[in-house]
Amino acid sequence: MTRPFTWIASAIFALMAIVHIYRLISPFELIIGGCHIPPWASGVGAVIAAGLSWMLCREARGASGP
């Protein structure tokens, strides 16, 4: 059984990870509500978003883990 919403969520998380990686490669200033967000926060965000995307892909495929 295909799970289209799981695939869509996985693609969104993958896109978020790519944007975080782009910020690490070509640093630009990010200010949210007057608070400066350090570049290392994008590294954390990239790892989390990529991990969530990977887990959703596994779920959508029906792969079982160890």
Domain boundaries, the chain: 4-61
Residue showing tokens 């995307």: 53
- Position 18 scores a pLDDT of 97
pLDDT in tens, 12-53: 999 999 999 999 999 888 899 999 999 999 999 999 999 999
| Secondary structure (DSSP) of the chain | ---HHHHHHHHHHHHHHHHHHHHHHS---EEETTEEEPTHHHHHHHHHHHHHHHHHHHHHHT----
Which pairs count as long-range contacts for 23-30, CB under 8 Å and 24+ apart, including other chains? none
* pTM, to two decimals: 0.81
